[in-house]
Amino acid sequence: MIRTQKVRLYPNRHMAKVLDSLCDYRRYCWNEGLSTWNDMYDLHTLDLSSPRPSAYSVRNELVGNKADWQYELSARTLQLAVADLGHAWQNFLDKSQPDWGKPTFKSKKAARQGFKTDRAKLVAGKVRLDKPRGVKDWYDIRISKHSDLSGVLKVISIYRENGKYWASLPLEVELDAKLRTGDVSAVDVNVGHLNYTAGVVGAVPKRLRKLYQRIKFYQKQLAHKRVMNGNKATKSGRYVAMRAKLQRDYRKVANIQHDIMQKFTTKLVNDYDTIVIEDLSVKSMQMSHIASKGLQRSMFGYFRQILTYKCDWYGKELILADRQYPSTQRCSKCGHIKSGNNKITLQGNATHQTKHNEYVCYSCGAVIDRDENAVANLLALI
């Protein structure tokens, strides 16, 4: 299995300049490759005898036109950038891909800049990049402490964001299957919390409220500065300092929620052999402004992503309920399915004056907690 570890990098001044130059070089190679690809495609449409563009032909074109300064940087940065560009064009031809769209040019103003390499090594707890020919000064990069970095290192991704450097280290490792427990569970995802057979896990805990209040305050202040000072606002020291505080709080929120999701999914694969979740189309959900914000903060997609690969790692079965399966509208006692004006919404049911968190069956008269009823209906699929 490939297990990816995200670590913080602490380069010295010289290696920080090297990482910055490699990030810029990756962006340069991508943009030059995309421009060359477009030119070759236009030539092919005008003259069908000319070959269609491919990652191989674009790479050869860029390598043949290399400038002298490019030889001071890693050759693998160019090759991997063009390979990723080829994958992007293949995805463009498949409309079923998520975030489908035509490859676009990279901007130097983007908050995240990065590059890839497959020649990096882990030496004495540090990352060692491949040294270009003719370069004398070269140093290993110290990384944040991590418990387990064993395995065969694959193509790593290094990126700079908010003045800090990070690396994603994919390690090929052998994982032992978890012990079989014979238990099953179902997870009903809701705005702000996740219900399963053993209880409730809060996806947006109370300790995040203070952080969200600060984020809201910083956003208003930055917006006010841009309105009052225009383009000059982003160049002031106070604006940059406040933006750094905003980014710091966003990072804290992400770390807290990722920690919750990682611990919860690990508990699921440790305690249960079969897990049932809903196959939700989050992007197509139409909600109010407040509910959509809570939906985004609940991280439904991230939960499904990490639960999927952990089930693959440890040999557990993950069942996806069909999107049309009425887990919320179905009565877990008698099987009656609500329809029309009897359906439950986020606000409950206005016709029968029921609350949003209760399920009242109009067939058998059962009164059940709405989330517990949904979990029971998902368990019925096993």
- Map out the domains of the chain as residue ranges: 2-172, 184-321
pLDDT at 313: 85
Q: Rounded to whole angstroms, what are the CA distances from 184 to 200, 219, 260, 322, 375?
A: 16, 44, 21, 18, 11
Neighbours of 49 (CB within 10 A): 5
User: Which tokens in the block code for residue 172?
Assistant: 């090929």
- pTM greater than the 0.85 cutoff: no
Residue 290 burial by Cβ neighbours in a 10 Å radius (0-12, 13-18, 19+): exposed
pLDDT at 213: 93
pLDDT tens digits, one per residue of 54-66? 999 999 999 999 9
164-172 vs 193-196, strand pairing mode: unpaired
Q: Rounded to whole angstroms, what are the CA distances from 185 to 272, 321, 324?
A: 6, 13, 20
pLDDT at 283: 64
pLDDT tens digits, one per residue of 220-240? 999 999 998 888 888 888 888
Q: What is the DSSP letter of 204?
A: S
Specify the DSSP element, H or E, that contains 268: helix 237-271
pLDDT tens digits, one per residue of 107-161? 998 889 999 999 999 988 899 998 887 788 899 999 987 767 888 889 999 999 8
CA atoms within 13 A on the CB side of 210: 3
Q: What's the per-residue H, E or C state across 105-157?
A: CCCCCCCEEEEEECCCEEECCEEECCCCCCCCCCCCEEECCCCCCCCEECCEE
Q: What is the DSSP letter of 234?
A: G
CA–CA dist 372, 144 (Å, integer): 42
Strands (E), 280-344: 317-321
Residue 196 has pLDDT above 60, yes or no: yes
pLDDT tens digits, one per residue of 7-42? 999 999 999 999 999 999 999 999 999 999 999 988
